[in-house]
């Protein structure tokens, strides 16, 4: 077995040193009738690299990958180009095979990059501080709601009609144990402002996504003003973080907490995970004390050299146990590293250009699809994703396009369930698409309608 | 002047200086290059990515264009490579040396798994593209489910939890849903959690709305059964137990614990963090478990990555599997299908834990690990992990103080009795290990032992590696006891940094860089 260094002589010598005659003596505490006498049933025996690779390659070929298709799916996960150097750097042993940086003297690599990550996230979102990551955008949103409830000592939250339904469901499920009252407005395209009508004295927060799940851009400023007037917090959600290179930041528009999906920077589609949840908030002790997860902070060592440590951990489960702000322990470490390196390579200049390119490609595509008879672009504004109304069932159109190698967006019914939105299609595009791809998509859509 | 074998002068003994005494002009120290923050070495107008030109278009941002600068710093590619390679060299890593963190299972991360996780059919597929176009990815999830159920003997597995604590939450929410269905949620408030449990256990139970009732350990490091029997009752929702526990011991009375909690109408949640000790030796089903999360990033070697990502699938008994969250996987003949919507569900999902369907990147790595080992290899993994821990225990017990008598499972727990009457604490001892080239063991955990040192070598250490490690620890223990505390109280002096001021970090938090 190539991963096991002990040989039979080693094992015999070690058992002798321990003073037992067989390895089973070390398992004597397992109840007799619960001991497995033979190998685990239903599993094959060990396999070499070539055999395992053959199996995985065969499985991999049974899926149509984004790179093989004309690809226009978004809905909370986006396909962007990740420079080759990012994947190389995150595979360095020192990053890949390190644990959580609990021994800061020998973990400055991880800690300094986390400090850089937190700074980048704070800059992007226009917020004071950011934590060292959550699992993904949806769990970051659920944690942000619970955080707002603790800060305001109020018990209700209002979810905007443009919030990604998976996010709304995640919030709803997580609020269950805390008995937080979740008021989900029925999904609708241009009605995010309606949350204002639901504000009352018990409202801890309103949760608004921008761009919303239909791709429409939302001016958060009046929402923030209304929320603050009612003593509530505004939680701004972003599922496409590249948009922050071009669109006003949630901080600039008055958000108190930002929960976002960071996958678009540095991380691939990966069929839904691992991704990287961003959580940023105002630089206010009251907020920071109630924040979930880890923070890296700057300090000095015994010889006054600058260094970084995990800090403010009295909020966390390993210290605070049942009174912790969250049960999160492992977060998205290596995904934050990919995010930080990719964003360092982009820089201010690169991110702005990338965001501009995404928006331009979406504008060009919307114009192109709008020429198809019966196809209507529903958005008045968008970043790189928009909603189109088809003359028929969108799920059927998507299935039919897939047969010709076109992954032409996400039927809204996939997110909202069959019914009201059956004829709506969410279409996203990025810098990875070319005019030729757009032409293939247009032709495929024309054919299936 | 002394000469070496090639006739070059060697330094006279009185001119020797120690590494920490040398101040360099550059701030670099030999191979260890000084490296400021990204924001200090980068610039707003630098970029390491070439992008195509922006096509002509009419902007449709609805008047929400960003006008302010973001403030980001950029680097060209060669600068970025140096920046992050230099930073990487300040990290300890499994690939560098033994990483004996108890309860963390820092084992070798096979690189085949990295390669396979990057195959396009898994890495470059979108979570919401038509299910007919991702049958390979779904089949892989199905295979992973089969392996996890076979190893544990359980009936079903929920794949979407994203880490161990998320898995705990999934399992406890299933229990909550079952109680709700029985109409007993309002009366069953208590969850019994041993004092030795990971902090995530009480935090999770509290997040699910339960009250925590702590179980003390007995003199052997296991659940005190007299106390347990006295606490069990009709208001108990569940017991959350780690097995083997965080003292590195198998809970001998686990069957009685399961029977008692079941007789009282509660459920048995097992924290599977220590599954690495028992694969192929017993099945948790046969121990009476109702739900258990599995840390793919521990037992099944998906890399820890400096703190994540992990994955925490939860295996469930038949009576809980109906409450598993959406999305879940079903097989119709040869085809795989995800049930993503409560409304379509034939079962009774308690809800949704996250967007999409879990940590696919971890699933591929974990399955590659399992297939490489097979049923025979997985059993060998547990046997070698336990053997290695006991070998260290046997080698160290003469100079260090085991917390409990007898053999251990996959990790060996020591207390600080052997440091009594010295000026050396568990923290000092751990920091001195850094100067010796080792990552410290888990320290001050579990809480049931004074000055705890929890050592988990894992099965991927050779006997030679264990011997070198044991020799080093024995020398340190002897040095501590001989009264030479200098090498301990100032340690580490050979690491990139000396001890960091954590009090200052917490009192005056600096959580981001700002322009001076």
Q: What confidence tens digit (pLDDT) does each residue in A276-310 have?
A: 999 999 999 999 999 999 999 999 999 999 999 99
Residue in chain A nearest B175 by alpha carbon: A177
Query: For A232-241, what is the mean pLDDT?
Result: 98
| Sign (positive or negative) of CA dihedral A154, A156, A162, A166 | positive
Q: How do residues A85-119 score in pLDDT, each as one tens digit?
A: 999 999 999 999 999 999 999 999 999 999 999 99
Best residue in B18, B250, B505 to probe A by mutation, most A CBs within 10 Å? B505
| Confidence check on the interface: ipTM exceeds 0.90, yes or no | yes
Q: Which residues of chain B have a CB within 8 Å of the CB of A129?
A: 511-512
Question: What are the helix (H) ranges across A74-210?
Answer: 84-90, 93-96, 108-125, 137-152, 165-178
Q: Which among B386, B394, B461 is the nearest to A5, CB-wise?
A: B461
- Secondary element (H or E) of residue B165: helix B164-181
User: Looking at the domain covering A66-82+348-448, what would its CATH class be?
Assistant: alpha beta
Element (H, E) at A387: strand A385-389
> Which CATH architecture fits B374-501?
Alpha-Beta Complex (3.90)
Would you put residue B289 in left (φ > 0), alpha (ψ -120 to 50) or beta?
beta
Per CATH, which fold does B112-370 belong to? Answer: 3.40.640
Who among B62, B326, B440 is closest to A380 (CB)? B62
- Say yes or no for a CB contact (<8 Å) between A321 and B203: yes
Are the beta carbons of B272 and B295 closer than 8 angstroms? yes
Chain B positions in Cβ-Cβ contact with residue A265 (cut-off 8 Å): none
The pLDDT assigned to B343 comes to 76
Q: Is-cis flag, bond preceding A274, omega within 30?
A: yes
User: A126: exposed, middle or buried (C-beta count within 10 Å: 0-12, 13-18, 19+)?
Assistant: buried
> In terms of Cα–Cα distance, which of B441, B423, B427, B432 is closest to B481?
B423
How high is the pLDDT of residue B13? 47
User: Strand, helix or coil at A181?
Assistant: strand
| Confidence band for A156, pLDDT divided at 50, 70 and 90 | very high
- The DSSP 8-state label assigned to residue B432 in this structure reads H
Name residues 429-448 of chain B within 8 A of A (Cβ): 430-431, 434, 439-440, 445
C-alpha span between B84 and B57 (Å, rounded): 37
- What's the token pair of residue A12? 């015999």
- Residues of chain B whose pLDDT is less than 50? 12-16
How far apart CA B496 and CA B91 sit, in angstroms, is 9
B11 touching chain A per CB within 8 A: no
The candidate with the shortest Cα–Cα distance to A83, out of A359, A345, A264, A337, is A345
**Cβ pair B439:A17 closer than 8 A:** no
Average pLDDT score over chain A: 97
Pairwise CA distance, residues B453 & B474, whole Å: 14
Q: Is B388 on the interface with A (CB under 8 A)?
A: yes
Token pair 């065969």: residue: A58
- Domain map (residue ranges) of chain B: 112-370, 374-501
Q: Which chain A residue has its CA at the smallest distance from B206's CA?
A: A322
Q: How many CB atoms lie within 10 A of CB A166?
A: 28
Chain A residue nearest residue B95, CA to CA: A93
| % of chain A residues with pLDDT over 70 | 100
pLDDT in tens, A301-334: 999 999 999 999 988 998 889 989 999 999 999 9
The reported pLDDT for the residue numbered B22 is: 75
Which residue among A34, A319, A335 sits closest to B309, beta carbon to beta carbon? A335
**How much is the mean pLDDT over chain B?**
95
Instruction: Give just the sign of the alpha carbon dihedral A148, A151, A153, A154.
Output: negative
Q: What is the reported pLDDT for B2? A: 57
Long-range contacts of the stretch A400-405 (C-beta < 8 A, 24+): A400/A447, A400/A448, A401/A441, A401/A444, A401/A445, A401/A448, A402/A64, A402/A69, A402/B129, A402/B130, A402/B132, A402/B133, A404/A444, A404/A447, A405/A64, A405/A68, A405/A69, A405/A70
CATH 3.90.1150.10 region(s) of chain A?
66-82+348-448
- CATH number for A84-342: choose from 1.10.10.60, 3.40.640.10, 3.90.180.10, 3.30.43.10: 3.40.640.10
First-last CA distance in chain B? 52
């Amino acid at each position: 077995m190539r991963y096991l260094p002990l040989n039979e002589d080693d094992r015999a010598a070690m058992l002798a040193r321990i003073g037992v005659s067989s390895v089973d003596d070390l398992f004597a505490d397992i109840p007799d009738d619960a001991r497995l006498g033979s190998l685990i049933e239903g599993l094959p025996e060990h396999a070499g690299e070539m055999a395992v690779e053959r199996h995985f390659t065969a499985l991999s070929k049974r899926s149509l990958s984004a790179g093989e298709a004309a690809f226009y799916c978004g809905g909370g996960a986006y396909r962007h180009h990740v420079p080759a150097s990012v994947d190389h750097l995150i595979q360095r042993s020192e990053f890949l095979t390190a644990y959580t940086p609990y021994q800061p003297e020998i973990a400055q690599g991880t800690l300094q990059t986390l400090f850089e990550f937190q700074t980048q996230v704070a800059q992007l979102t226009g917020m004071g501080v950011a934590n060292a990551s959550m699992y993904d955008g949806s769990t970051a949103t659920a944690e942000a709601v619970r955080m707002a409830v603790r800060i305001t000592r109020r018990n209700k939250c209002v979810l905007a009609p443009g919030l990604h339904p998976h996010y709304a469901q995640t919030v709803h499920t997580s609020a269950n144990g805390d008995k937080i009252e979740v008021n989900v407005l029925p999904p609708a395209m241009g009605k995010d402002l309606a949350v204002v009508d639901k504000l009352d004295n018990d409202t801890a927060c309103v949760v608004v996504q921008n761009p919303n799940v239909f791709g429409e851009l939302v001016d958060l400023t009046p929402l923030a003003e209304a929320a603050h007037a009612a003593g509530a917090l505004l939680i701004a959600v972003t599922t496409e973080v590249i948009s922050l290179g071009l669109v006003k930041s949630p901080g600039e528009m008055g958000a108190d907490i930002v929960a976002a999906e960071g996958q678009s920077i540095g991380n691939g589609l990966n069929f839904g995970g691992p991704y990287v949840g961003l959580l940023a908030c105002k630089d206010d002790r009251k907020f920071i004390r109630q924040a979930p997860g880890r923070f890296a902070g700057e300090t000095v060592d015994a010889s006054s050299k600058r260094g970084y440590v995990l800090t403010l951990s009295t909020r966390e489960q390993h210290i605070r146990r049942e009174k912790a702000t969250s049960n999160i322990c492992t977060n998205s470490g290596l995904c934050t590293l990919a995010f930080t390196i990719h964003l360092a390579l982009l820089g201010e200049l690169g991110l702005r250009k990338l965001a501009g390119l995404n928006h331009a490609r979406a504008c060009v595509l919307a114009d192109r699809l709008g020429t198809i008879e019966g196809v209507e672009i529903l958005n008045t504004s968008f970043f790189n994703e928009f909603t189109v109304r088809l003359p028929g069932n969108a799920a059927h159109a998507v299935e039919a396009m897939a047969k010709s190698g076109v992954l032409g967006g996400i039927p809204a019914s996939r997110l909202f369930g069959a019914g009201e939105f059956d004829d709506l299609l969410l279409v996203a595009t990025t810098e990875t698409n070319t005019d030729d791809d757009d032409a293939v998509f247009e032709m495929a859509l024309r054919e299936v309608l | 002047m002394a000469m070496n074998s090639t006739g070059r002068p060697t330094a006279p003994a009185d001119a020797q200086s120690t590494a920490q005494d040398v101040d360099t002009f550059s701030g670099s120290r030999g191979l260890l290059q000084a490296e400021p923050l990204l924001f200090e070495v980068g610039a707003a107008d630098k970029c390491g990515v070439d992008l195509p030109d922006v096509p002509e278009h009419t902007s449709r941002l609805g008047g929400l264009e960003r006008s302010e600068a973001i403030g980001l710093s950029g680097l060209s590619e060669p600068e970025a490579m140096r920046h992050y390679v230099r930073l990487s060299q300040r990290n300890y890593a499994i690939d560098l040396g033994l990483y004996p963190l108890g309860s963390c299972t820092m084992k070798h991360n096979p690189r085949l798994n990295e390669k396979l996780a990057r195959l396009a059919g898994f890495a470059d597929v979108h979570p919401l593209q038509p299910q007919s176009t991702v049958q390979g990815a779904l089949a892989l999830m199905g295979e992973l489910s089969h392996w996890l159920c076979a190893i544990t003997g359980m009936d079903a597995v929920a794949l979407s939890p994203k880490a161990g604590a998320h898995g705990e939450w999934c399992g406890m929410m299933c229990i909550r849903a079952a109680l709700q269905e029985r109409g007993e949620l309002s009366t069953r408030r208590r969850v019994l959690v041993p004092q030795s449990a990971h902090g995530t256990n009480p935090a999770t139970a509290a997040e699910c709305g339960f009250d925590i009732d702590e179980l003390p350990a007995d003199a052997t490091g296991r659940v005190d059964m007299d106390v347990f029997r006295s606490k069990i009752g009709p208001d108990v929702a569940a017991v959350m137990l780690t097995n083997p526990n965080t003292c590195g011991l198998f809970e001998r009375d686990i069957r009685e614990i399961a029977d008692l909690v079941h007789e009282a109408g509660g459920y048995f949640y097992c924290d599977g963090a220590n599954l690495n000790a028992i694969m192929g030796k017993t099945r948790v089903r046969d121990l009476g478990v109702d739900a258990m999360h599995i840390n793919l990033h521990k037992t099944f070697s998906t890399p820890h990555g400096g703190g994540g990502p992990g994955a925490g699938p939860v295996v469930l008994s038949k009576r809980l599997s109906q409450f598993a969250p959406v999305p879940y996987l079903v097989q119709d003949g040869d085809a795989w299908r995800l049930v993503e919507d409560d409304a379509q569900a034939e079962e009774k999902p308690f809800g949704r834990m996250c967007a999409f369907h879990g940590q696919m990147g971890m699933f591929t790595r974990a399955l590659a690990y399992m297939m490489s080992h097979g049923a025979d290899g997985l059993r060998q993994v547990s046997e070698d992990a336990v053997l290695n821990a006991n070998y260290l225990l046997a080698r160290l017990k003469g100079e260090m103080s085991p917390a409990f008598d007898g053999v251990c499972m996959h990790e060996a727990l020591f207390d600080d009795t052997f440091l009594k009457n010295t000026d050396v604490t568990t923290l000092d001892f751990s920091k001195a290990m850094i100067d010796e080239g080792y990552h410290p063991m888990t320290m001050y955990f579990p809480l049931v032992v004074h000055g705890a040192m929890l050592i988990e070598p894992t099965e991927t250490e050779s006997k030679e590696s264990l011997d070198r490690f044991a020799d080093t620890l024995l020398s340190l223990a002897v040095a501590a006891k001989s009264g030479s505390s200098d090498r301990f109280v100032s340690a580490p002096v050979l690491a990139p940094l000396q001890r960091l001021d954590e009090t200052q970090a917490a009192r005056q938090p600096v959580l981001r860089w700002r322009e001076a």
